[in-house]
C-alpha cells in the first residue's frame, strides 16, 4: 500500500471509490471533476490517496482557509478496512496541514455513521456540544447519500 499526494488526474478514481462507500454523502457540485480539481488547486499538498496495484483503496480530502483545517471524504473501501489505511491517510493529511501552519482541524460526520464516529473519536477528535452547525445553500446541488443495501 502506498500513500501519496492526490493529483488532479486522480479525480475519476476518487469519485469511483466514493461511490462505492456506503456511508458517503456526495453532491452534484463539489463531487464532480470540476469540484475536485478546484479543491486540489487550492490544496495541492494536503489531499492523499492510498493505492495498491493501481486500485484506490482510500482517500482523504483535507484543506484549510489559512486559519482552520478541514477534512472531507475520508474513505476506505470496505475490503481494505482494518489495515491502518485510514490512520495513515489521516497522519499524512494532519502532517501536511501542520506543515502549513494549521493548528486546529474540523470535520463533519453523519450522526448515524457509527464506524466513522468511532474512528474519529479513537483519533482524538472530540464531539462539540457547545456549538450549532449551520449552513446555507447558495448553489443548487443534488445531495446523494450512499446507503448500504439491506
pLDDT tens digits, residue range 15-57? 999 999 888 888 888 999 999 999 999 999 999 999 988 899 9
pTM for the model stands at 0.89
Q: Residue 76 maps to which CATH number?
A: 3.40.630.30
Q: Give the range of the structural domain holding residue 137, as residue numbers without chain letter.
A: 2-145
Specify whether the backbone of 73 is left (phi greater than 0), alpha (psi in -120 to 50) or beta: left
Task: Give domain status of residue 116, yes or no.
Answer: yes
Task: Give domain status of residue 34, yes or no.
Answer: yes
Residues in the chain: 150
Instruction: Report the domain count for the chain.
Output: 1
- pLDDT tens for the chain, 150 residues long, are 999 999 999 999 999 999 998 888 888 889 999 999 999 999 999 999 999 888 999 999 999 999 999 999 999 999 999 999 999 999 999 999 999 999 999 999 989 889 999 999 999 999 999 999 898 888 776 666 665 543
Task: Give domain status of residue 100, yes or no.
Answer: yes
- Which own/partner pairs from 50-53 qualify as long-range (CB within 8 Å, at least 24 positions apart)? 50/1, 50/2, 50/3, 50/76, 50/80, 50/85, 50/88, 50/89, 51/1, 51/2, 51/3, 51/4, 52/1, 52/2, 52/80
Amino acid at each position: 500500500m502506498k500513500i501519496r499526494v492526490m493529483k488532479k488526474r486522480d479525480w475519476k478514481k476518487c469519485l469511483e471509490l466514493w461511490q462505492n462507500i456506503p456511508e458517503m454523502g456526495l453532491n452534484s457540485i463539489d463531487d464532480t471533476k470540476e469540484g475536485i480539481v478546484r479543491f486540489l488547486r487550492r490544496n495541492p499538498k494536503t489531499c492523499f490517496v492510498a493505492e495498491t496495484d493501481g486500485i484506490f483503496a482510500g482517500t482523504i480530502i483535507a484543506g484549510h482557509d489559512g486559519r482552520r483545517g478541514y477534512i472531507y471524504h475520508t474513505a476506505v473501501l470496505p475490503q481494505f478496512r482494518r489495515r491502518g489505511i485510514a490512520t495513515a491517510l489521516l497522519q499524512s493529511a494532519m502532517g501536511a496541514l501542520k506543515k502549513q501552519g494549521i493548528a486546529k482541524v474540523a470535520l463533519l460526520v453523519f450522526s448515524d455513521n457509527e464506524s466513522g464516529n468511532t474512528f474519529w473519536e479513537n483519533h482524538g477528535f472530540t464531539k462539540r456540544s457547545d456549538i450549532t452547525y449551520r449552513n446555507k445553500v447558495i448553489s443548487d446541488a443534488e445531495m446523494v447519500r450512499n446507503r448500504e443495501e439491506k
